Structure 1
Amino acid sequence: MSQIAERQAFFMGLGAVGLWSTVATAFKWALSDMSPLMLLWIATGVSWCLFSVLLWRQPHRPALWPERGHRLIPVIAGVLNPTLYYLLLFEGYRRLPGQEAMALNYTWALTLAFMAIPMLKHRLRGIDVIAGGICYGGVLVIATRGQPWSLTFADPVGVGIMLVTTVIWAGYWILNTLDQRPALLAQWQNFTIGWAVLSLILYRSPDIAWPSSGPYWGAALYVGLFEMGIAFLLWLGAMKRTQQTSRLSNLIFLSPPISLVLLNQLLGEPIFASTLVALAMILCGLALQQWHRQSDHPA
């Protein structure tokens, strides 16, 4: 039975990674026609509908809202994800080439390791420092478009926004360690709050530009249904079935090269040599940290 569960976990994880590999292309395509706020409002609404249907179909539905005195975590979580995180993420993708934004986004795992030191009292390991030096060296290569010695940044605001998203995302997952809510219910509550906040912001925005044609609507729906919805559920299901979490996490390393190919083939975005070098550095740093953790805690 465990072999069947591990096989299911592998294919579910592979499906999630496959979907995540397409989102850089979907982001860039959708953002070529609409603002980050509009894209996020549509995508969040789609995800909320998906989570609502799945929650309603559960045989034993929990109370939708926590009791008074236990509502702070859902509010904070909903403001962090989807609201603040994705607004900044989409703005970063709007400003930067998709390949650069995607590569920078992968440094969130390293940010999580460093933030967990003061917030969760984790120990700073030498391997974390080495991995950080390699990864952030890759960030410098991206920021300078392959000329790190010049310290001339191509788009410092865009790079800064993407680095801030890694802090927000890492903070969100640290918050999850304190969160006792069932995962699906938590997502529904978070997206309920997030969609309400986004609707208020959109209502007060002076210029509301809807997608201009069906393909752009399709891209926004795809982001909400797959990147923010189904991919999350597949990964959650894989994590629940496996007893080899660290090995399952290695599937994540398949996503960046697939993303690069899709950006190039579907959007015609040329692949910069600096991106290849930087992405290799970032993935090497993350792999070093990941495999060292596996050696410390073998499955």
Structure 2
Amino acid sequence: MPQQKKAYLLGLSAVLAWSTVATAFKISLQHLSPAQLVLYASIASTLSLLSILLWQGRLASLLPALRQHWRGSLLLGAVNPLAYYLILFQAYALLPAQEAQAINYTWALTMTLLSVPLLKHQLSRHDVLAAVICYLGVLVIGTHGQLLQLHFSSLAGVGYALASTLLWAGYWIFNARDQREPVIGLTLNFLLSLPLTLAFCAFSGELKPVAWQGLAGAAYVGGLEMGFTFVLWLSAMKLTSSTARIANLIFLSPLLSLGLIHFIVGEPILPSTLIGLGLILGGLLLQKLGKTH
């Protein structure tokens, strides 16, 4: 199979997997608290990443990397998975899955906005217009289209969803300077985050027996969304002759995700969600087109 076809196959596989996670989050949170889901999903993801390194014959390189990068790995692990997923799962606990996942797609724009104070980048007119359009989309989703009343279905939920985009965007800005090999780096992040997550759960009284359905959901979320899918996406990016072609596949994910949320979770998809998501994706597309000129 030609390399570009392999890249498309791997990229589409990653997008299909990511399309299922909003549904998996919502179902898992019926049986687990956000902190419990972070803990058990992180364990599953760590095992998944270690298995990938074992299969690649690179497990022995983990210890030298740990000795060299343990401080940075501990800091990044505290952000992702611990803080990011704890806040994201709290958003999913408070909001319908369709709203939380749509708002989460603004992280790419958030990364552009954060690069101004953190990296001293300048915003273009496309960036500013994209920000206005995207956050108008968030407003439409959060208020169910009642913009004038500003009545949010869950103001706290929208706040958590937006805060998660700040953490995720900040994580990737600092990750861009990371000298570690990506899979090794992610594995170290998860390994060193586990004691922190365990301590948080113990302190908050979350270490108690949980239903097997919750554990199964956490295994799916951790093994697939947090671990294996990341490796699929990285592999697609390495094989492709055009990064933009693979990156554009991500625009398929929100629509597929909405379908799964409707048919599996049972949420009726609101017109305000479709309008808001359209604004968010339109804003992101505008920003992307602005960078090509």
TM-score (norm 1): 0.93
Give the corresponding residue for 2:271: 273
Unmatched 5+ residue regions in structure 2?
none
Amino acid at match of 1:250: N
Q: Check the 8 A contact 1:65/1:189 in 2, yes or no.
A: no
> 2-side partners of 1:4 and 1:262: how far apart?
31
Give the corresponding residue for 1:132: 131
Amino acid at match of 2:160: I
> 1-side partners of 2:125 and 2:266: how far apart?
41
Question: 1:254 pairs with 245, 252, 255, which one?
Answer: 252
Give the corresponding residue for 2:205: 206
Q: Check the 8 A contact 2:48/2:227 in 1, yes or no.
A: yes
> 2-side partners of 1:25 and 1:86: how far apart?
15
Amino acid at match of 2:184: L
Amino acid at match of 1:259: S
Q: How many residues align?
A: 292
**Aligned partner of residue 47 in structure 1, secondary structure:** helix
Matched, 1:149 2:138: no
> 1-side partners of 2:278 and 2:95: how far apart?
19
> 2-side partners of 1:55 and 1:203: how far apart?
30
Q: Check the 8 A contact 1:47/1:225 in 2, yes or no.
A: yes
Question: What is the 5 A alignment of 1:162-177?
Answer: 162-177=161-176
Q: Check the 8 A contact 1:64/1:189 in 2, yes or no.
A: no
Give the corresponding residue for 2:243: 245
The change in CA–CA distance for 1:284 and 1:67 in structure 2 (over 3 A counts) is closer
Task: Please give the per-residue CA displacement for 1:145-196, whole angstroms capped at 9, x wherever unaligned.
Answer: 1111112222111100110100000000011111000011101110011111
> 2-side partners of 1:68 and 1:57: how far apart?
22
Matched, 1:27 2:25: yes
Give the corresponding residue for 1:122: 121
Give the corresponding residue for 1:291: 289
Task: Please give the per-residue CA displacement for 1:193-243, whole angstroms capped at 9, x wherever unaligned.
Answer: 111111112223324343324x33221111011111111110011111123
Q: Check the 8 A contact 2:36/2:206 in 1, yes or no.
A: no
How far residue 56 of structure 1 moved from its aligned partner, in angstroms, is 3.1
Task: Please give the per-residue CA displacement for 1:224-269, whole angstroms capped at 9, x wherever unaligned.
Answer: 1111111111001111112311221111110111111111101111
How far residue 33 of structure 1 moved from its aligned partner, in angstroms, is 1.3
Question: What is the 5 A alignment of 1:98-113?
Answer: 98-113=97-112
Q: Check the 8 A contact 1:117/1:124 in 2, yes or no.
A: yes
How far residue 69 of structure 1 moved from its aligned partner, in angstroms, is 7.5
Q: Check the 8 A contact 1:246/1:290 in 2, yes or no.
A: no
> 2-side partners of 1:249 and 1:243: how far apart?
12
Taking only aligned residues, the RMSD between alpha carbons, in angstroms, comes to 1.7
- Percent sequence identity is 43
> 2-side partners of 1:268 and 1:284: how far apart?
27
Task: Please give the per-residue CA displacement for 1:58-102, whole angstroms capped at 9, x wherever unaligned.
Answer: 445425254777543212110110000000000100000000000
Question: What is the 5 A alignment of 1:192-203?
Answer: 192-203=191-202
How far residue 5 of structure 1 moved from its aligned partner, in angstroms, is 1.6
**Aligned partner of residue 62 in structure 1, secondary structure:** helix
Give the corresponding residue for 1:92: 91
Q: Check the 8 A contact 1:46/1:225 in 2, yes or no.
A: yes
Q: Check the 8 A contact 2:49/2:228 in 1, yes or no.
A: no
**Aligned partner of residue 40 in structure 2, secondary structure:** helix
> 1-side partners of 2:215 and 2:88: how far apart?
19
TM-score (norm 2): 0.94
